Amino acid sequence: MTTDPARLELLSALARKVLWLSSWTIHHANHIRPNVDGLKVGGHQASSASLATIMSALYFSVLRPQDRVAVKPHASPVFHAIQYLFGHQTREKLQNFRGFKGAQSYPSRTKDVDDVDFSTGSVGLGVAQTLFASLVQDYVKAHGWARDRVEGRMIALVGDAEMDEGNIFEALLEGWKHGLRNTWWVVDYNRQSLDAVVREGLWEKFETMFRNFGWDVVIVKYGNLMRKAFAEPGGGALKKWIDECPNQLYSALCFQGGAAFRRHLRDEIGDQGAVSQLIDRRSDAELLELMSNLGGHDMASMCEAFEAIAHDRPVCFIAYTIKGIGLPFQGHKDNHAGLMTVAQMEKWRSLQNIRPGHEWDKFEGLSQDATALEAFLADAPFNREGRRRLTAPYIDVPERLSFTPSPQMSTQQGFGLLLNEIARGDSELAARIVTASPDVTVSTNLGAWVNRRGLFARAEKADLFRSEKIPSTFNWDASPRGQHIELGIAEMNLFILMSALGLSHTINGERLLPVATLYDPFIERGLDALNYACYQDARFMVAATPSGVTLAPEGGAHQSIATPLIGMAQDGLASFEPAFVDELAVIMAFGFRYMQREEGEGGSIYLRLSTRSIDQVQRMMTPDLQSAITEGAYWLRKPGPNAEVVIAYTGAVAPEAIEAVGLLGESRRDIGLLAITSADRLHAGWTAARKLRRDRRGVQHLSHIEKLLAPLPRECGIVTVLDGHPATLAWLGSVRGHRAEALGVEHFGQTGTIDDLYRHHGIDANAIIDAAESLTAGAPVRHRKMAV
Ligand SMILES: Cc1ncc(C[n+]2csc(CCOP(=O)(O)OP(=O)(O)O)c2C)c(N)n1
Ligand SMILES: [Mg+2]
């Protein structure tokens, strides 16, 4: 326990050291490192200082190896300083903070070397990640895995202004529905954001809300010095004044110092004997020390608060702090980008007995015995099991998934069939898949999977319709064995859940293969969370369906235009848009393998699917075709040696492309039809090959698309077409210098039939023919599709 004074003394000394090292890291980046222009630090110094004590309490004393933490983005220097003291972070990387390959500005799981559990940066997301990570831990345990692992606490260090992010509230709601446990959110209540001082009274609202959602709320407002002063005669009046002081004034006084506090206290409390004596007994410096001894800066109070929790209910700690505590601009409302000057730093350095040239020495300037400090660090429970990043074995995936074909199908229907097939078996693959959907389970064809595999809940819950024998196509029995997590509509939650499920192998040592479904346009609603999940290398599969203007009668608000470009541009996400279900079967099998590749190699999968039912091609799936599909393209119809034009299409417009090729046949020679299953993989392969050839001269490696287009005569034109933004495929002309016409959707759609909309947006057979005609010489094309 940390009531032991010797322990407390060491902890407090280490917290001071953490504040020094984090500030020095920032100072070094701004004033000492050569070529610092452009790497200057804004927003870290004051924001980091807030958390030095709280994070020291956690990492040096409270945390256990199984706990996982999301650190507020701007507290990154504090995190790195702590890891430096542990020996997990190098001096070189600290000296290169914000520099190329140096310690990262915001904690990064993939870029930092010091065991970041969850990346942060875009505020609010790391907070929600801890909540979902805890649900995932429950999921893993409920399925009988990780039996020998002790349950961890998922902890977020939250900036108070971070609470403005709506995704936090969305997550709270979901947490409540799923009986959230083992989650701590520690709010750094410095009452300052970037621009402003936080609104008065806001936290009372938050407190009520947390309690409403079943959380415990622990307010750590006063440090020990304050509490002792309150016990002195006149202490009650002092406490009353502190409690009533507006946020902005308190911040301003912390900035101005002890004399300013004294003036205000005198003016506002008046001469009341005992309290005046209480104040007068203290020098200006002592008075400032007392008034800035808020709970979040008091080691004993923080340790006490954390150690008092002996249950698994979620807890929100509201720790009162001062932004920039201990630094010359503490409390100033403009301090977010505040930096100490060289002169201020010099003064602070000498105050702490740190000799020039010894700034990075671990225990420099501390009066405590270095061996005792070293032993204390070595003994921290947090490091008891060494590196905390876990791994999990590979789950076998068949080469290709099976399904029962119908002559006409949509890719969305195919997706449902393929999952249903997996669900029927008892493979390890089937056991490790976990699905989730934001209230669109049935409308994205996950119903059959859920019927077989059930809903997940920690406690059994029967589907009342079923127990009452009311006929229904769906069985919504919930149990700890269930494999579908039903979410509310919020797409942010879906992607943060994917982020948590998709890191289970490294967090829980148990691999899950998460599959999410949602409507394609709503990718944009959850986009920052999707980006966040990819940034920290979580592995999952997204089936986004329906998509494009192909969902015609649904109208413009439900039709997606930009998503193919998002799929291409999003790092860590391989995107596919198959037209036929046999392609999808190959892609999904590939996807489940790709999701399991080592860090830096694989990634997540995005399937852009459609509800449009189209004629399926009857063919043998050969190994060559299979690998062409996963590389991104194959010739559905090979161009002849004198090809004048080829049509390259993606996805649901396949029938239009096929029809156009048929109609063009009599008027143009040797037409080819290129089926593109992944513009993303195709483009990535092309840029990678060019880079390889540039980097290693003499290497002749050609990418898949270069090989496919190689036989085309120079004058051959390429018409590209998809139900999405035309830029997705427009680059095809640059691969070997062919003229190209890119067809696609550029403007919001509206209601109508598929034919209406394809015609309106110029992606129907006739538009393809017109484009082909404009690219080729010769007589006008003889045939066109008749209007119906
Ligand atoms: C989504 C998002 N929007 C804006 C920012 C820029 N930003 C970084 S910190 C911050 C305010 C932080 O205030 P608070 O959370 O209270 O942390 P403090 O600095 O007070 O510790 C803002 C607006 C961001 N990082 N992410
Ligand atoms: Mg703040």
CA distances to 127, 145, 239, 263, 532 from 509, rounded to whole Å, are 22, 9, 49, 58, 21
Tell me: the pLDDT tens digits for 731-752?
A: 999 999 999 999 999 999 999 9
Confidence of residue 253 (pLDDT cuts 50, 70, 90): very high
pLDDT at 18 over 60: yes
Residue 1's pLDDT is 56
For 360-369, 376-385, 454-463, 495-504, which range has the lowest pLDDT when averaged over its residues? Answer: 454-463
- Residue 56's DSSP bridge partners are none
The pair of structure tokens assigned to 387 is: 């590196």
C-alpha to C-alpha distance for 54 and 62, rounded to whole angstroms: 10
- CA–centroid distance, residue 535 to ligand 2 (Å): 25
- Residue 6's DSSP bridge partners are none
- CA–centroid distance, residue 54 to ligand 2 (Å): 14
Atom of ligand 1 nearest to the CA of 125: 1
C-alpha to C-alpha distance for 423 and 652, rounded to whole angstroms: 27
Amino acid letter, residue 342: V
Cβ contact 649:656 at 8 Å:
yes
Give the mean pLDDT of 137-141: 98
Residue 240's pLDDT is 95
Give the number of other Cβ atoms within 10 Å of residue 269's Cβ.
16
The pairing of strands 478-479 and 455-456 is: parallel
- In terms of Cβ atoms closer than 10 Å to its own Cβ (0-12, 13-18, 19+), residue 256 is middle
Place of tokens 């068949």: 398
- CA–centroid distance, residue 77 to ligand 1 (Å): 15
Give the number of other Cβ atoms within 10 Å of residue 531's Cβ.
18
Ligand nearest to the CA of 191: 2
Confidence of residue 634 (pLDDT cuts 50, 70, 90): very high
Residue 774's pLDDT is 96
Minimum CA distance residue for ligand 1 atom 10: 194
Residue 330's pLDDT is 85
- Residue 479's DSSP bridge partners are 456
C-alpha to C-alpha distance for 282 and 477, rounded to whole angstroms: 66
Q: Nearest Cα to 26, choosing from 404, 341, 252, 328? A: 341
Residue 386's pLDDT is 84
C-alpha to C-alpha distance for 524 and 674, rounded to whole angstroms: 29
C-alpha to C-alpha distance for 56 and 370, rounded to whole angstroms: 17
The pairing of strands 68-70 and 154-159 is: parallel
Tell me: the pLDDT tens digits for 33-91?
A: 876 666 666 678 888 888 999 999 999 999 999 999 999 999 999 999 999 999 999 99
Residue 191 Cβ contacting ligand 1 at under 6 Å: no
Ligand nearest to the CA of 72: 1
Under 8 Å CB-to-CB from 716, ≥6 apart: which residues?
Answer: 639, 643, 644, 645, 646, 738
- CA–centroid distance, residue 162 to ligand 1 (Å): 6
Give the mean pLDDT of 746-765: 97
C-alpha to C-alpha distance for 266 and 661, rounded to whole angstroms: 89
Query: How many helices and strands (H and E) does the chain possess?
Result: 34, 20
C-alpha to C-alpha distance for 165 and 20, rounded to whole angstroms: 31
Atom of ligand 1 nearest to the CA of 528: 1
- CA–centroid distance, residue 187 to ligand 1 (Å): 13
Residue 159 Cβ contacting ligand 1 at under 6 Å: yes
Round the average pLDDT of the chain to a whole number and report it: 94
Task: Kindly report the three-state secondary structure assignment for every residue of 486-529.
Answer: EECCCHHHHHHHHHHHCCHHHHCCCCCEEEEEECHHHHHHHHHH
Confidence of residue 270 (pLDDT cuts 50, 70, 90): confident
Largest CA distance in the chain: 106
Calculate ∠ Cα 625-626-630, nearest 5°.
115
- CA–centroid distance, residue 699 to ligand 1 (Å): 47
Atom of ligand 1 nearest to the CA of 124: 1
Minimum CA distance residue for ligand 1 atom 26: 122
Q: Nearest Cα to 579, choosing from 518, 517, 655, 646? A: 655
Q: Which comes out higher in pLDDT, residue 100 or 335?
A: 100
Got the DSSP string for 624-682?
Answer: HHHHHHHHTEEEEE---TT-SEEEEEEGGGHHHHHHHHHHHTTTSSS-EEEEES-HHHH
Q: Nearest Cα to 334, choosing from 51, 37, 122, 43? A: 43
Sign of CA dihedral 422, 428, 431, 434: negative
Cβ contact 616:405 at 8 Å:
yes
* 270-295 burial: b if 16+ Cβ within 10 Å, else e: eeeeebbebbeebeeeebbebbbbbb
Minimum CA distance residue for ligand 1 atom 21: 47
3-class SS of residue 309: coil
Residue 158 Cβ contacting ligand 1 at under 6 Å: no
Q: Nearest Cα to 678, choosing from 606, 575, 587? A: 575
Residue 301's pLDDT is 97
- CA–centroid distance, residue 336 to ligand 1 (Å): 9
Residue 771's pLDDT is 98
Could you tell me where the beta strands, DSSP code E, fall in 32-146?
68-70
Which of 47, 48, 54, 167 should be mutated for ligand 1, with most atoms under 8 A from CB?
47
- CA–centroid distance, residue 504 to ligand 1 (Å): 28
Q: Nearest Cα to 660, choosing from 758, 575, 537? A: 758
- In terms of Cβ atoms closer than 10 Å to its own Cβ (0-12, 13-18, 19+), residue 311 is exposed
Calculate ∠ Cα 136-142-146, nearest 5°.
75
Residue 563 Cβ contacting ligand 1 at under 6 Å: no
Residue 337 Cβ contacting ligand 1 at under 6 Å: no
3-class SS of residue 617: coil
Residue 194 Cβ contacting ligand 1 at under 6 Å: yes
Confidence of residue 333 (pLDDT cuts 50, 70, 90): confident
Residue 160 Cβ contacting ligand 1 at under 6 Å: yes
Tell me: the pLDDT tens digits for 441-469?
A: 999 999 999 999 999 999 998 887 877 88
Confidence of residue 314 (pLDDT cuts 50, 70, 90): very high
Residue 190 Cβ contacting ligand 1 at under 6 Å: yes
Give the number of other Cβ atoms within 10 Å of residue 156's Cβ.
27
3-class SS of residue 576: strand
- CA–centroid distance, residue 231 to ligand 2 (Å): 30
Give the mean pLDDT of 622-641: 97
- DSSP state, residue 480: T
Give the mean pLDDT of 394-405: 92
3-class SS of residue 747: coil
Residue 473's pLDDT is 76
Residue 35's pLDDT is 64
- DSSP state, residue 586: H
